[in-house]
Structure 1
Amino acid sequence: MTTTTPKGAPHPLRAEALRGFPPLAGAAVIVLIAVLMIATARKWQGNWAETADQLHDSLLMILPVAAAAGCWRGGRERRRRTEELWSTAVRPPLTRLLAQAVPVALWVAAGYLLVIACAAVATWRYALGDHPHLILVPGDTVALMAAAVVGHVVGRTVHSMLTAPLLGVAGFAGLAAAVPHGDVQPLDPASFAVKGSWPVWWQPLAMTAWTLGLAVALTLVCAARRRATALVPLAAALTAGVLLVQGGDGTWRPDPLLRRQVCDTSTTPAICVNAQYGRLLPQVTTALSGVTGKLQGIQGLPARWADRENGPRTDEAQLPIVTPFGWSLVRGRLTRPDRYAWEAAAALSDRGQCERPSERVSLADGAVLTYLAPSPDQSEYDAVMAKGSAADRAHLRADQAARAKLATMDEQRRRTWLSAYFTARAVCDDKAVPSL
């Protein structure tokens, strides 16, 4: 004898999904991630890679929440004391379990995806290059759903009002403990993304099989009539786990954009920024316009300012670093163009591996830096030195005299002097640096 749902009656899954606790679980996930993202907006807003990393890292907090929400849902019938009534239902145990577990999993996943969509809109307005990184989203979403289902099974099995909060605390502690251990880290769906890298194409699929396989296997063991069927998803989960562990760091590949430069060759030196935020180049060019305007016709300069992952090459100067975002670069804008220009000018006179310069050369370095881009803190520095010891005051007078002499030179003489200065700097020849 079979049973049918009366015509026009809502499906049990729909009723379970639209009422009571599942929507609240989804709302809790939305609020938690939204608070985290808003608090760190200066760091990620305007950069697709940082946005993806921040959303993925939030799993450390919301995976335990999803498991606790599923666990609380799993203990509903026990709290209502309707377990015996449910046991007399015609539907099989597996169907009854899924009808209660799936709504929480769907709402948790929907909340996470909604925050991802909102974060993408917030990033799009200020993005400086790159493209949305969605490769981690499927695996992260499935991991959240799996955590909710596993939590539901635990809630049905363990009869205690404290099971849900204890499961959440234990889950958070377990994920946090797994982060620094390389042996198990590939199996951790909340492990921190490798900065500047993205997973190979099969890593999210393996992570999905790992988390979902364990959740399905545990569900079948708990409620299926033929528990041996749990061996199939368990085998899939173990196979995926072996692939993840054996892959290790090999499951991540460097972001190719980090190795590319976007350049403006109309200036002297040329200005090259990392391709990951290539649309920042016009701002950088404008910020350095005061420096590059004073370097026209000067010999011995580096070929370009560059922002490379492993530092500048021999014919390059280091472009001021804008990472981590949230300090010198916020929401796609340079916060202190004057300081940025000063740091870029300082990189031109950086002597790298050269020996420590003499007092005469140090005065020349300070004069050149002040001429190209005065420090925003120069007046404060001078005031401190003026109140210092006799040696400090003597050094300040010599420094001011050198700055004044370079600033008052006629254009042709200053160009000749600067050419000799930068040519000597390039070969670490302090003796060839002209005096002021």
Structure 2
Amino acid sequence: MTLLTERVPEKRGASPRPPRARHPLRAEAVRGFAPWAGAAMTLTLVVALAAGSERWQGGWAETRDQVHTTAMLLGVPLALAAGCWQGGRERRRGTRELMATAVRGRTAAFLASALPVALWLVAGYAVATALALLATWYCAMGDRPHLGTPLGDAAVLACAALTGQVVGRLVAWRLAPPLLAAAGYVVLGVAGYGDPGSAGHLSPFTDHPSDSVPVWWQPLVTVAWTGGLTAAAVLAHTARRRTLALLPLVAAAAAGTLLVQTGDGLWRTDPLARRQVCDTSSTPQICVNARYEELLPQITRALSGMTSRLEGVENLPVRFEDRQGRPGPDEVELPMITPIGWSVVRGRLTDPEEYAWAAGMTLQGRGECDEVTPRVAAVDDAVEYYLAPSPLRRQFDEHHARGSAAERTALGERLAARERLASMGAEERRAWLSAYFATRGECDAKGVPAL
């Protein structure tokens, strides 16, 4: 038997199924002020970082520190101002009474307005940070990326946006956003570069050496400190039971106590900074800090002319070293690599000849002498000119040639000493240089061989 089903016709005029309601966060996130705030964060940080790129590009620790400094001094005030402006939106529109009658609670309404701005600001910071890391990656000199600090900074920026939102809802003044931003800049600047004592460790922005790294839990505790204070402010402003604000406040107090008590122990020296990477094919050996390992071939090439002239010479230091503190008894300090932006820019030596001249000067070891006799000065000048003359030496000589009689006499003595050293045979010159370096670092003229 065949069963026939009769199709029931749809009723005319029946209303279609209503579309699914979209979450209010979506509308806030894709339209209005929040995307513009994120774009402003990216533009501000990128412009500030690009303006001083020669000071950080190429060094991972330097990049971390520069991004951190820029995010704290410029990003946090911007986040405070953006949140404060968003917080006064209902007052400017005249919809505060209407929003108060909404079904959603005050905390939910607050978060629906504040979270999109905070998330867009964090996204803008993430874009700027990613661009900075890419700019360092192609010319990195060693070390490794440091990601703990950027993650902590992102949380601090979100907390600043939420705090600004609370202030914007409480302060009915159009000048509140710029004034709040200025106050945040001043407070962070004083805390970062001043000497506020133990309380300074509560600031998310503190100055520290570039060869240090935070302990693994430092970003987490900083987030707990700033996040706890922000959550307490939000709950105290929006929650029906304002006593709930005590819970994050207690967490913030515990985190702040830990930060203050730990103090300088929040940062430790990077293990790479204690290690040297050496080229042992020359005498003296050439060692650089392991953080700049990729720079060693360039330095070796820059000093190759000097080290080839020292082949077979005795009484030389064992190595050039590149670490903090005074060099050992058989070592001599390598010319400065840091701060980046002077002798090294974007992973390249800016002037290899000048760098070689500086290395030759450190070999003499008389840089700390208050005064030496004219004879020793002429001998030092001859050795300096033979090993690695400064590119500016000819200009100095021409200037002294037009100077006073005493300057012309001293120039004549230096030129004669240079000529005598250059005219020696190879064996004679090696013996003379061996005797010369036996007196390295002595300020007295006794024992310095004559020319």
Do these two structures clear the TM 0.5 threshold for a shared fold by scoring above it?
A: yes
Tell whether 2:40 aligns with 1:28. yes
Per-residue deviation at 1:70? 0.4
Q: CA deviation at 1:182?
A: 2.1
Query: For the residues of structure 2 that align with 1:71 and 1:424, how far apart are their CA atoms?
Result: 68
Q: 2:29 is matched with which residue: 10, 17, 27?
A: 17
Displacement, 1:173?
A: 1.8
RMSD: 1.5
- Offset, 1:231: 0.8
User: What is the aligned partner in structure 1 of residue 409 from structure 2?
Assistant: 394
1:46 paired with 2:62, answer no
Contact 2:363–2:440 (CA<8 Å) still a contact in 1? no
**What is the TM-score when the length of structure 1 is the normalising length?**
0.96
Q: 2:429 aligns with which of 404, 411, 414?
A: 414
How far 1:421 sits from its partner (Å)? 0.9
How far residue 381 of structure 1 moved from its aligned partner, in angstroms, is: 0.7
Structure 1 position 202 matched with structure 2 position 217: yes
Measured after TM superposition, the shift of residue 190 of structure 1 is: 2.2
Indicate the residue corresponding to 2:14 in structure 1: none
Alignment of 1:284-323 (within 5 A): 284-323=299-338
> Could you report, residue by residue, the CA deviation over 1:211-268 in whole angstroms, capped at 9, with x for unpaired residues?
1111111111111122111111010011101111111111111122222111000001
Bigger Cα displacement from structure 2, 348-357 vs 89-98 = 348-357
2:433 partner letter: L
Corresponding residue to 2:388 among 352, 368, 373: 373
Q: Does 1:228 align with 2:243?
A: yes
Shift of 1:351: 2.8
Which one is further off, 400-409 or 254-263? 254-263
Q: Secondary structure at the match of 1:425?
A: coil
Moved more, 43-52 or 356-365: 356-365
CA contact (8 A) 2:365 2:441 kept: no
2:99 aligned partner, one-letter code: W
1:103 to 102, 116, 119: 116
Provide the rounded CA distance (Å) in 2 between the counterparts of 1:266 and 1:429: 33
Distance in structure 2 (CA, Å) of the matches to 1:153 and 1:194: 35
Pairwise CA distance, 1:163: 1.5
Match 1:183 to one of 189, 194, 198: 198
- With normalisation by structure 2, the TM-score equals 0.93
Letter in 2 for 1:409: M
The 1:176/1:425 distance shift into structure 2, 3 A limit, reads: closer
Amino acid at match of 1:19: R
Q: How does 1:15-414 map to 2 (within 5 A)?
A: 15-58=27-70, 59-179=72-192, 180=194, 181-351=196-366, 356-414=371-429
CA distance in 2, matches of 1:274, 1:400: 37
Give the CA deviation at 1:424.
2.6
Once structures 1 and 2 are overlaid, which stretch shifts more, 93-102 or 182-191? 182-191
CA distance in 1, matches of 2:133, 2:125: 12
Distance 2:404 2:297 in 1: 44
Secondary structure, aligned partner of 2:446: helix
In 1, Cα distance between equivalents of 2:209 and 2:295? 24
Q: Which moved more, 1:187-196 or 1:100-109?
A: 187-196
Structure 1 residues without counterparts, runs of 5 or longer? 1-5
The separation in 2 between residues aligned to 1:73 and 1:383, in whole angstroms, is 66
Deviation at 1:425, TM superposition (A): 2.2
| Residues 116-166 of structure 1: per-residue CA shift (max 9 Å, x gap) | 111111100000100001121222111100010011011111112121122
**Once the 2 structures are TM-superposed, how far is the Cα of residue 308 of structure 1 from its aligned partner?**
1.6
**Aligned partners of 1:342 and 1:277: how far apart in 2?**
21
| Long gaps (5+) in structure 2 | 1-17
For 1:184 and 1:68, how far apart are their aligned partners in 2?
25
User: Is the Cα contact below 8 Å between 1:56 and 1:193 reproduced in 2?
Assistant: no
Count of aligned pairs: 431
Identity %: 54
Contact 1:56/1:192, CA 8 A, preserved across alignment? no
Provide closer, same or farther for how the CA distance between residues 224 and 355 of structure 1 changes in structure 2, counting only shifts above 3 A. Answer: closer
* Letter matched to residue 133 of structure 2: A
- For residues 219 and 284 of structure 1, the distance between their equivalents in structure 2, rounded to whole angstroms, comes to 55
Query: Deviations 1:279-320 (Å, cap 9, x if unpaired)?
Result: 100000000010011011001111111112113211111211
Shift of 1:8: 2.6
CA separation in 1, counterparts of 2:369 and 2:437? Answer: 14
Query: Could you say if the C-alpha distance between residues 52 and 267 of structure 1 is closer, same or farther in structure 2, counting changes exceeding 3 Å?
Result: same
Residue type of the alignment partner of 1:153: V
CA distance in 2, matches of 1:435, 1:279: 41
